[in-house]
Amino acid sequence: MQNKKIRGLVTPLGVGALVGVTMLGGVPAQAETTSTTFVAACLATPSAVAGPTTEAQNATVTVDAPTVVNAGDEFEVIISPPPITYPNKVSVANVTNVSRIKIDVAMPQNAEFLGAETVAGTASGLSGVAPNVLRVNEAGSVDANGTIIRLSGNNVTLGNSPSSSINSEGGIVASSAGGASTTFQLPKVKARLKAGPSGKVEMKLRTDGAAGTWNNDKNFLTFLPKASAPLGITAWAPTKCTPRDSETAPLNAGAGPLATINITEADKQTTTTVVAPGSVKNGSEVTLTANVNPAAPGGTVQFSDGATPLGGPVTVANGTASTTHTFTTDGDHAITAAYSGTTGFIASTSAVKTINVSTDDTVTTVAMTSPDTAFVDQDVNLHAQVSPAVQGGTVEFTVDGGTKVTGTVGTDGVAIAPYKFTTTGTHRVLARYSGTTGVAGSVAPLFPVSVTTAPAAAVQTSTTLAPVGTVAKGQPVTLSATVDPTNANGKVQFKLGDTPLGAPVNVVNGVATLPTTFAASGTFSVTAEFIASTGFVDSASAPQTLTVPGDTDPGNPGGTGSLDGLFGGLFQS
């Protein structure tokens, strides 16, 4: 015999109350109360004798949280669900209990999650699995890196969990207490957070992606009512709730920030670097430049020669300060730059930059720096360093007393020339610096390069660096290298002269890119070296010329010079 339908078997129970959460600030103690009122719409879908039922009720979220925290500060968020009441009888059916209750809150951005726990003594009317707080991922599995903070009975839910069911009791249970209705209280949840370095922390219910769609197991609030009716019928009514005014309405204010905590950035530690020629002629005017990294917007720099100030403090603009000075005594001068600091930026003093002042041609040395090894018929770059780093002139590389290639000496004293060895064995390369006005030439000892044949199964590659050209100080620029073939697997190390620009970058579909900035004036060589994975052969691009003009402001001129000790001030990656 067919069972008779019993209408109105289950309706969403206490929807408005269930989504009312209160979050209380921890450290610092100053807090502000914010209340957000929105409509929560729920769909209950009975397993038998009745059709789906939709109910929308007002809900208010009250948040007590600090309005501002310092970067790195720890603070607490306390989520306090209010008492929840459900009817013990709906139509001709008796509601036995509500179980598998869970509430999901999105893991806030710009904060580190340190842990969470329920607050003892704040729950009532509950049985089943003791409520607890877990960090879960989008699939509902416990995950130390999950993006969801979940209050449940050990992750026993009606869905979005490895322990889910829509036709059995489990997890947190609130059993009927008799009478017209039953009231129960979920426990408070205390979550501990640590503010990130900047930005803001927003507390939100879980509504991103599928969690914001209608009737989805990932909805922020889900629970499983159970009811019994005449003729021995047991009906389960999985219920899922989202912040929207109706089934067809978009998400409302309940999906937005319920509290916003602004992070006050910590004062930035700075590094100050002096950029100047390594050697100058007695009586010549020289430009001294100080680069403050990160680029401070203000403050002053005091240049000194040993303990003697060189003029007065110079104003810092966009992380740079420059002055001119004429040295009148020969010898080594120990130049430093002391940055005063400014709001949000900590003072710092540079390492000593030694400038050799002489009346004769500056004596130089030149040394080959790479490569030590190479493969036959594969592109490499011959590198040489002129010391002290004096811009101008060329370095001529002679391979085995025959073939010659030439590289121009940049502001950092580095010269680079592309080359391809055609035979195996140990090849000896001679580097000869031409010298320039006021600077004597020099010759390096023979430099051995061991050339071998690449593994037979390895695929040869070629690397091309896109032209760099002229880039203003501090202007963002993206370096781009193309590796052929496009399926080559490995990384690209971008270099400024002999200095790596950050860490090696992965090659994706034959291309590697690196966003960076440059903070020293001059002319330099930029290269890209492909570091091949198994099955491919290393290769290097031909050098591209980078020009960073000096300052155009007559009151704050920027000079060119060597880059000794310029780590952190020249580029950021």
Peptide bond into 28 cis (omega under 30): yes
Q: Average pLDDT of the chain?
A: 87
What local confidence, expressed as pLDDT, does residue 82 receive? 66
What local confidence, expressed as pLDDT, does residue 22 receive? 32
**Residue 344's pLDDT band (boundaries 50, 70, 90)?**
confident
Residue 554 Ramachandran class (φ > 0 left, ψ -120 to 50 alpha, else beta): alpha
What local confidence, expressed as pLDDT, does residue 30 receive? 58
Contact 346, 379 (CB under 8 A): no
**Is the per-residue pLDDT at 410 higher than 80?**
yes
pLDDT cut 90: percent of the chain above it: 68
- Which range of 60-74, 82-96, 225-239, 298-312 scores highest in mean pLDDT? It is 298-312
What local confidence, expressed as pLDDT, does residue 197 receive? 86
For range 173-197, the mean pLDDT: 89
**Is the per-residue pLDDT at 1 higher than 90?**
no
Identify the residue whose tokens are 């910590």.
Answer: 266
Give the span between the Cα atoms of 563 and 276, in whole angstroms. Answer: 8
Q: pLDDT for 93-142, tens place per residue? A: 788 999 999 999 999 999 999 999 999 998 999 999 999 999 999 999 99
Identify the residue whose tokens are 């007002």.
Answer: 58
What local confidence, expressed as pLDDT, does residue 551 receive? 60
**Residue 49's pLDDT band (boundaries 50, 70, 90)?**
low
For range 254-279, the mean pLDDT: 90
**Is the per-residue pLDDT at 158 higher than 70?**
yes
Give the span between the Cα atoms of 211 and 56, in whole angstroms. Answer: 17
What local confidence, expressed as pLDDT, does residue 26 receive? 34
What local confidence, expressed as pLDDT, does residue 567 receive? 32
Identify the residue whose tokens are 């101008």.
Answer: 392
pLDDT cut 70: percent of the chain above it: 90
Q: Where are the beta strands (DSSP E) in 420-520?
A: 425-433, 442-443, 447-452, 462-465, 469-470, 477-484, 490-496, 499-500, 505-506, 511-516
What local confidence, expressed as pLDDT, does residue 434 receive? 94
Q: Where are the beta strands (DSSP E) in 249-390?
A: 259-264, 271-275, 279-281, 285-293, 300-305, 308-309, 314-315, 320-326, 331-339, 348-349, 353-358, 365-370, 373-375, 380-387
For range 185-195, the mean pLDDT: 89
Which range among 13-17, 430-434, 516-520 shows the weakest confidence by mean pLDDT?
13-17
Which range among 139-153, 359-373, 490-504 shows the weakest confidence by mean pLDDT?
359-373
Contact 448, 368 (CB under 8 A): no
What local confidence, expressed as pLDDT, does residue 194 receive? 93
Give the span between the Cα atoms of 341 and 330, in whole angstroms. Answer: 33
For range 165-170, the mean pLDDT: 96
Of the two residues 505 and 15, the one the predictor is more confident about is 505
> Per-residue b/e over 251-270, b at no fewer than 16 CB within 10 Å?
bbebbebbbbbebeeeeeeb
Q: pLDDT for 356-396, tens place per residue? A: 998 878 889 999 999 999 999 999 999 999 999 888 999 99
What local confidence, expressed as pLDDT, does residue 546 receive? 95
Query: Which residue type does 289 have?
Result: T
Contact 251, 212 (CB under 8 A): yes
Shortest CA distance to 344 belongs to which of 402, 267, 258? 267
What local confidence, expressed as pLDDT, does residue 7 receive? 30
Domains of the chain: 15-256 (no CATH), 271-355 (2.60.40.10), 361-453 (2.60.40.10), 458-573 (2.60.40.10)
Q: pLDDT for 218-266, tens place per residue? A: 999 999 999 887 778 888 989 999 999 999 999 999 999 988 889 888 8
Contact 106, 207 (CB under 8 A): yes
